[in-house]
Amino acid sequence: MTKVLVFPRSATNPYQDLLYGAMPPDVKVAYYPHFTVSQTMNILLFPLVLLSYRLRGYRLLHVHWTYPFAPVWAPLPGARRIMHSWYTVCLASARIMGYSIVWTAHNVLPLGRVFHDEVAARRQLARASSVVIVHNKTSIPAIRAFGAQQVEYVPFGPYTTYASNLSPSDARRRLKIGPNERVAVFFGVMQDYKGVDFLLEAVGSSRPKLPLRLVIAGSCPDTHLRRRLEALADGIDPPVISRFERIPDDDVQTYMLAADVAVLPFRRITNSSSLLLALSFGLPVVIPALPELDDVPEGAAFRYQPGEPAALAAALRTVAMLDEPTRISMSACAYRHVSTLSWDTTASLTRAVYLNAVTGQEPANEDLPGEAPGASPSELMKL
């Protein structure tokens, strides 16, 4: 039996439930517990929690994200340095207690600021980890540049677990969208790197106006960003349909099935659950031409030059003029791509990583590129 302590548990993304739900029975998973309502106190208890689970036979610590080390008081002067020091203590404690650390690098660098020196923190985590998992091969050179001993590529599974029992016409009626309107949806947590403001600027400044209904749905934890998005959406014709809150699982299908395409105007990205969600619903996607998104098949994507509003507007105009046979063909391509993905495969490969981390045996993996040219960590900090 392989016992794994997982840190932290995501409250919003079903990724972990899908991964660990498909794990073979010889892997026992426990999530890092929250003993108090205080994020700070829960993090201060980290070494004691590690010791408690180590005494119960847990040998693996699987780190997914580091954001719990940025409590609400993190913006105070010196706070990020203090938490960075405690983070260093926590990593050292895990190694001293005999844990093998596995890190899944969901992003090369955190998408929201955690520490005062993110590159240094990543180097510490990469070097403390027995194995680093990546879901995107293009991130491998940067992860290796952090000093990772071993990097393993494990593909994502699909996001096909959401209900899909509405008809597109019923979904449109719920959102008060006409049956003949062309609809593009942005779905997901709205953060700066997602580029929702860039999307609204591109749509609002396009002349002549785009014959396209835009829908944006998802929580926006940054109140300043939300106010900016609301201001940008004001005056766009046809009116933007917006919902700035976490969408319940049962309502996800309403936004996906009402749309013709999903638009994901990332400023930067390593992996995207929103992208896989859209493809899992058979939606073609409008995405920037970034190397991290090269896995998306050409037949299911409209690509545009990153950072150019006119290029995004032109891609959306193409979507607005799309004939139905082409849309159906692109939808079929999206479904075919998703059909090649499996959480059973993801779990099986993750299990193999766990065993490798415990035994110290590095498997031959010919699929991993060598030290291919790519952005260095310091260059990534400038993005």
State the chain's mean pLDDT as an integer.
92
Q: Tell how strand 301-304 and strand 241-243 pair up.
A: unpaired
Do both 63 and 176 map to the same domain? no
Mean pLDDT on 302-320:
96
146, 198: one domain: no
Written as six digits, the tokens of 362 are 């590095």
pLDDT in tens, 135-186: 999 999 999 999 999 999 999 999 888 888 999 999 999 999 999 999 999 9
Mean pLDDT along residues 71-99: 97
In terms of Cβ atoms closer than 10 Å to its own Cβ (0-12, 13-18, 19+), residue 301 is buried
Amino acid identity for residue 366 in this structure: E
Residue 107 and residue 28 share a domain: yes
Residues 23 and 56 in one domain: yes
In a domain, 53, yes or no: yes
Asked whether the predicted pLDDT for residue 357 surpasses 50, the reply is yes
Residue 13 pLDDT: 83
The answer to whether 20 and 6 have CB atoms below 8 angstroms apart is yes
Claim to verify: residue 96 and residue 137 sit in the same structural domain: yes
Which CATH number do you get for residue 237?
A: 3.40.50.2000
Instruction: State the pLDDT at residue 216.
Output: 98
- Tell me which residue of 134, 149, 184 sits closest to 292, measured CA to CA: 134
In a domain, 153, yes or no: yes
**Does 91 map to a domain?**
yes
**265 plus 368 within the same structural domain:** no
User: Tens of pLDDT along 327-344?
Assistant: 999 999 999 999 999 999
Closest residue by Cα to residue 316 from 238, 246, 244:
238
For residues 122 and 185, state if they share a domain.
no
**What average pLDDT does range 36-45 have in this prediction?**
94
Percent of the chain with pLDDT over 70: 94
- Token code pair at residue 255: 């936004």
Asked if residue 275 has pLDDT above 90, the reply is: yes
Give the pLDDT of residue 348.
Answer: 97
Q: What is the mean pLDDT of residues 249-256?
A: 95
* pLDDT at residue number 361: 61
pLDDT at 164: 86
Residue among 105, 95, 35 at smallest CA distance from 61: 95
Phi, psi of 270 (to 5 degrees): -110, -55
**pLDDT band, residue 255 (cuts 50/70/90):** very high
252 lies in a domain? yes
Within a domain: 120? yes
Q: Are 237 and 327 part of one and the same domain?
A: yes
pLDDT of residue 371: 39
Q: pLDDT class for 213, splitting at 50, 70, 90?
A: very high
CATH number at residue 54: 3.40.50
Residue 360, pLDDT score: 72
Strands (DSSP E) along 270-334, which ranges? 285-288, 301-304
Q: Is residue 162 part of a domain?
A: no
255 occurs within a structural domain: yes
Nearest to 107 by CA among 118, 95, 120: 118
103 domain-assigned: yes
Write the pLDDT tens digit of every residue in 219-232.
Answer: 999 999 999 999 99
- The model's pTM is 0.87
Which of 267, 322, 271 is CA-nearest to residue 296? 271
User: Cβ neighbours of residue 86 under 8 Å, at least 6 residues apart?
Assistant: 43, 44, 46, 69
User: Does residue 295 sit in the same domain as residue 373?
Assistant: no
Query: Same structural domain for residues 239 and 150?
Result: no
Cis peptide preceding 208, ω within 30 of 0: yes
**pLDDT digit string, tens, across residues 42-66:** 999 999 999 999 999 999 999 999 9
Give yes or no: residues 292 and 271 share one domain: yes
Residue 231: which domain range?
A: 168-339
370 and 224 share one domain:
no
| DSSP for 147-209, written as a single string | T-S-EEE--------S---S-HHHHHHHHT--TT--EEEEES---GGG-HHHHHHHHHH-SSP
As given in the structure block, the two tokens for residue 147 are 């000093």
Q: Is the pLDDT of residue 284 over 70?
A: yes
Contact 100, 62 (CB under 8 A): no
Residue among 7, 211, 150 at smallest CA distance from 91:
7
Indicate the number of domains in the chain. 2
**Residue 380 confidence (pLDDT) above 90:** no
pLDDT score of 362 = 57
pLDDT at 34 over 80: yes
